[in-house]
Amino acid sequence: MEAVGFIPSSQHLVQTNKTVTWASPSNIALVKYWGKYDPQIPANPSISFTLNHCNTKTSVTLVDQSMLSDTSTGAFSFEFSFEGAPKPDFHPKIASFFARVFDYLPFLKTYHLVINSENTFPHSSGIASSASAMAALSLCLLELSDEFPPNDQNVFSEAFYAKASFLARLGSGSAARSISGPLMQWGKTPGFKASQDLVAVPFNKVLAPIFKNFQDTILLVDKGEKVVSSTVGHGLMKDHPFAKARFQQAHDQLALLTEALVSGDMETFISVVESEALTLHAMMLTSSPYFILMKPGTLSIIEKIWNFRKNTALPVCFTLDAGANVHLLYPEMHKVQVLQFIENELVAYCQNGQYICDQVGSGSISHTVQP
């Protein structure tokens, strides 16, 4: 698949003053994307669980430039509100996203967009919202383009979701994986023929029953701004002394994890997932300049999880994204015991005692009100 394949062959009819709405979930990578090339091509393959409750809901209204004030230049423009208030801080990231997607959504160039967005998870929780936000925005734009209209039952085609993932990737790499669920794979890898660098694709094998409704409890260790953004961190992999070995390791770990996801081999699942989390942070510790996103509470929680696993033999493990928060992953059948463990031993390390209970979900949902 080539990027040019996503340029529409003809201009589609668009309906002005139409509002579309999508809710897209966040996702948590099990094999991590860390390192990329232009334009948003991953240096290694990744796979993630799509979450269920942590969502961004976005509405976009298409306004014809002729409806705007006399001062309008007629060129593309947008206004953006987050949770009911204008959010100029988000403008640069959204503007650079639009610059990247114009070729693939040419209808945009003559419109004004009114974008309203909200998150279901606490605003400053340290949970990256760029994945869910860029996924929801991409789905809205693609629905407005009318390039792939839904069928009579309002079901969108595979081609619609593939292009949405392609667009979302151009906003934020991990957003490519927030389109569908429950497991999404992104980045070409020899063991999986359908894998692609330009779009994320659903994991096409039958998941072992133990992963059904798999739980992710996010322990909010630090809710502050990250000292180094993911985008800068990806850039530091360019001249990283361990880059080549790391990129190869991601292919190898993905192959191992794929087998474990099918067989239900929890030992392998746990060792790959925890190794991926620690390798991600090891890359940060050994970048030039080096940096640390974990906090003391992150390490204390990891130690407690290891002790709990040893003492109870329950298959719980952790992963980390590019931050200090810890994602505790475990099968649904152990929910009661694990939540008790969190309350007894882990809450003390969470900022204001906060954590979020989520689980694996099935992907983005349209909330567009049909006429």
Choice from 20, 63, 280, 356 touching ligand DP6 (CB under 6 A): 280
Task: List the interface residues with ligand DP6, window 172-201 (CB under 6 A).
Answer: 172-174
Number of other CB atoms surrounding residue 92 within 10 Å = 9
Q: Is position 281 an interface residue for ligand DP6 (rule: CB under 6 A)?
A: no
Name residue 46's amino acid: S
Name the minimum Å distance from CB 181 to ligand DP6. 14
Segment contacting ligand DP6 (CB under 6 A): 32-40, 56-64, 83-91, 290-298? 32-40
Interaction pattern, residues 216-255, with ligand DP6; x per rule: CB under 6 A: --------------xx--x---------------------
Rounded to whole angstroms, how far apart are CA atoms 179 and 143?
A: 13
Rounded to whole angstroms, how far apart are CA atoms 282 and 279?
A: 5
Rounded to whole angstroms, how far apart are CA atoms 151 and 12?
A: 16
Task: List the interface residues with ligand DP6, window 70-129 (CB under 6 A).
Answer: 128
Structure tokens at 109: 């160039």
Task: List the interface residues with ligand DP6, window 295-334 (CB under 6 A).
Answer: 321-322
Name the minimum Å distance from CB 172 to ligand DP6. 3
DSSP H or E run through 114: strand 111-119
Smaller CB separation from ligand DP6, 42 or 297: 42
39: phi then psi, degrees, rounded to nearest 5: -90, 100
Structure tokens at 259: 């087998």
Structure tokens at 60: 């976009």
Count of residues binding ligand DP6 (CB under 6 A)? 17
266 contacts 201 by C-beta, under 8 angstroms? no
Residues found near ligand DP6 in the complex (CB under 6 A): 29, 32-34, 40, 46, 128, 130, 172-174, 230-231, 234, 280, 321-322
